[in-house]
Structure 1
Amino acid sequence: MFKKIMSVALAYVGIIVGAGLSSGQDLMQYFISFGKWGLIGVIVLGILNAIFGRIIVTLGSYYRSNDHSEVLSKISHPITNWILDISLVISCFVIGFVMIAGAGSNLNQQFGLPIWIGALICALLVISVSFLDFEKITNIIGIFTPIVIVMIVIIAGHTLLGQNFDLNQLHHSAVAMESPMPNIWMSVINYFALCVMTGVSMAFVLGGSIIRIGVAEKGGTIGGSIVGFIIALASFVLFTRVDQLSGVDIPMLVLANEVHPWFAFLYAIVVFGLIFNTAFSLYYALAKRLAGESEPRFKLYLIISVTIGFALSFLGFRELVGLMYPALGYIGLVMLLVLSSAWIREKNNVQEEKQLRRRMIKLISKKHKKDQIFTIADKKEYQNLSEESNVQTETIKIDIHDFVQQELSSI
């Protein structure tokens, strides 16, 4: 159980932690530019990430969603649903090509490769990995997350230990930077709404792959908390070196080079992996939404959208972050309101469904264990529970049956 929870948590972090956050560019523009107040802002942001990480992944599990529309159609008014659906489709596409641009900037800054080569490598990886089994995809999404956490901790230790900082001087240097937001509180809300718009489509799909609601709750909470930790630590490190970092595309990579050139080499690869994670998550969710259940159309839409995204990535990473992210963040405010109201409204139903599925798993497990008897009464109770579930009766029965078989085969 713990292994599955952590797999979900790391996959969620992989979805959220993309080019801007792991590179430091988002944090420089949204938080460091407000000086000391920016550091308070990232703490608030971390708390919001933990709360909404739980909400989003849990709702995905509760509704067993294959794409974001399956959740939004149930938790919002038809007009609001239509607006958010269109907004998420646009967000997946736009942030996707910002990620591809970030991949080009990352390899260009560290290795001197032409920007288009890094962007092309990322685009080709997104297309090829999208055709794998979803279980394998989940593992791929989470693979770079623990590595980047360790590396950011190492960068923080190397940058901070034994150093003295003039916080007032750093504050004045930081506020001299240009920010896309008018104040820190609007910056916190806008950036968090942007994070939700970036990750909610794939996070719903991630949650939909989890039959145990308890696993979704814990995985989403831990994943959101890890995101908060990464943001807070990286922000403080960037703040202490704001004088040297204000004009570069990948600020964290500059700090990684100060640790050791080989460490920077590895960090550039990991950042590229995280950029790929987010780009893949966005384009995968976009193609799923457009194609529905049709696998041939899914492949076609994914190839077309990634190809167009690659072409648009030539607009430049830092410029795209400053231009596109604030606009998408404002749209995301509507999403936050919808998710909050849905959670308040459905919280009790989610807990009832959680207990219902737990009981169904326990009952059907008896059927597959030689030392237990699956009685007529058990069969009747199992049928009644499946009819009470918020998921279609036959669908939940098949899902529970498949889940129990997988669990028993792994013992």
Structure 2
Amino acid sequence: MNKQSIQIALAYMSVVIGGGFASGQEVLQFFTGYGLVGVAGTLVSGLLFAFLGMQIARMSSKMQANSHKEVLYSLFGARVGLAVDVVLSFFLYGVGVVMLAGCGSIFAQQYGMHPLFGGVLMTVLVIATLCLNVKRIIDLISAVMPFLLAMVLIITTYSIFNYNASVETLDAVARENNETVSSNWFVGALLYASFNIAVGFPMLAVIGGMTKQSKAAGLGGVLGGLGLGVLILLLNVGLFANINQLQGIEMPTLALASRISPLLSVVMSVALICMVYSTAVGMFFAFSARFAKPESVRFKGFSAISVCIGLALSLGGFSKLVGTVYPLLGYVGFALILAIVFSWARGRSRANLEVQKRELSPLS
């Protein structure tokens, strides 16, 4: 294992683990709401993350791709690839809207303020960052990721060992009182992997393209995917162990933190705000860059208008938006998964044919 593989693995995890994951709302709707069987769902998603991450990183490395568009065009062809790229851009915008709503929920749950306050604050911060190009601020916020992961792990571990109901009771509460993205746990697991692959695809393609060794890139994708699977599993078990105390709560991890310590909940809320900010900037930047050149006057104006429209859309509520936007993005991600699997199968078929030709050829 080399340094490049580890870097790709960490970058892959950082792209996927955004404000939605850290809040616990994603895991609640995609896994915990199905009850105990949701654990099997986390394993399915983890394996998919590993396989898809390996394929995307390795393909990008072989192509030495400079943009995710090159990989999309290779998978779908120029015309269909362009259509997928445009559709993907609009759904990334939807994720940005969800982040604005998430900030509103943090201020409402932790500080008792109206959700609009948090939404407006995040809107101003995102517009200022996109217009002023404050790259140092983004780098500083990105440094919160390891700290946030440590917080989630501490809170989850504590919660797992401090449950106050039987497994049967928790399973019944989880299945009866929580909304899920699908009626079937397996479909929910597929949707979670596919929507996150859709979100992480652009960045993973670029990172993979920067690596000259395709095997190292593929290994990084596998390690990152398995790491994601472990984190999802731990958070799901932590939420499940306390599901009877999390009914109707927008930010489950924040609620768990408040039960451990009021100070910890304040620290967790700040970390969540930083994570939401980082994700929101990334999503709105990707959307605006699709239609205007970054740092241009048109880009700044387009960014300001699109984020303000996003604020209006975010008033639909965080949990409701997560349950609407993410599954729809997951269905778009299915197209990516099918194309990747087809490309992999075609590559395997060609490799087998080459082996058969060598075996059939006369010995020289």
TM-score, with length taken from structure 1: 0.75
| TM-superposed deviation, 1:141 | 6.6
Q: Confirm whether residue 9 of structure 1 aligns to residue 9 of structure 2.
A: yes
SS in 2 for 1:35: helix
2 CA distance for matches of 1:127 and 1:346? Answer: 44
SS in 2 for 1:247: coil
| TM-superposed deviation, 1:303 | 3.3
User: 1:83-232 residue pairs with structure 2 within 5 A?
Assistant: 83-130=83-130, 131=133, 139-140=139-140, 142-161=142-161, 163=163, 165-176=165-176, 177-210=178-211, 213=214, 216-232=217-233
Partner of 1:252: 253
SS in 1 for 2:181: coil
Give deviations 1:116-167, integer Å, cap 9, x for gaps: 232233334434445256xx68855742222122112211232222656511
1 CA distance for matches of 2:157 and 2:294? Answer: 48
SS in 2 for 1:249: coil
Percent identity, aligned pairs only?
Answer: 31
Partner of 2:324: 323
Partner of 2:310: 309
2 CA distance for matches of 1:97 and 1:71? Answer: 26
Quick one: which amino acid aligns to residue 54 of structure 1?
A: M
Contact 1:54 1:218 in 2 (8 A): yes
| TM-superposed deviation, 1:232 | 0.7
SS in 2 for 1:315: coil
Contact 2:160 2:237 in 1 (8 A): no
2 CA distance for matches of 1:300 and 1:205? Answer: 27
| TM-superposed deviation, 1:65 | 4.2
Aligned in 2, Cα 1:128/1:56: closer, same or farther, shift over 3 Å? farther
Aligned in 2, Cα 1:303/1:210: closer, same or farther, shift over 3 Å? farther
**5+ long unaligned stretches in structure 2:** 351-364
Compute the RMSD of aligned alpha carbons: 2.9
| TM-superposed deviation, 1:238 | 0.6
Partner of 2:33: 33
Aligned in 2, Cα 1:204/1:198: closer, same or farther, shift over 3 Å? same
2 CA distance for matches of 1:5 and 1:279? Answer: 27
Contact 2:91 2:325 in 1 (8 A): no
Partner of 2:48: 48
Contact 1:17 1:278 in 2 (8 A): no
Contact 2:56 2:205 in 1 (8 A): yes
**5+ long unaligned stretches in structure 1:** 350-411
Give deviations 1:148-188, integer Å, cap 9, x for gaps: 22112211232222656511111111110332302111111
Quick one: which amino acid aligns to residue 266 of structure 1?
A: V
Contact 1:10 1:146 in 2 (8 A): no
TM-score, with length taken from structure 2: 0.84
Contact 2:36 2:171 in 1 (8 A): yes
Aligned in 2, Cα 1:16/1:54: closer, same or farther, shift over 3 Å? same
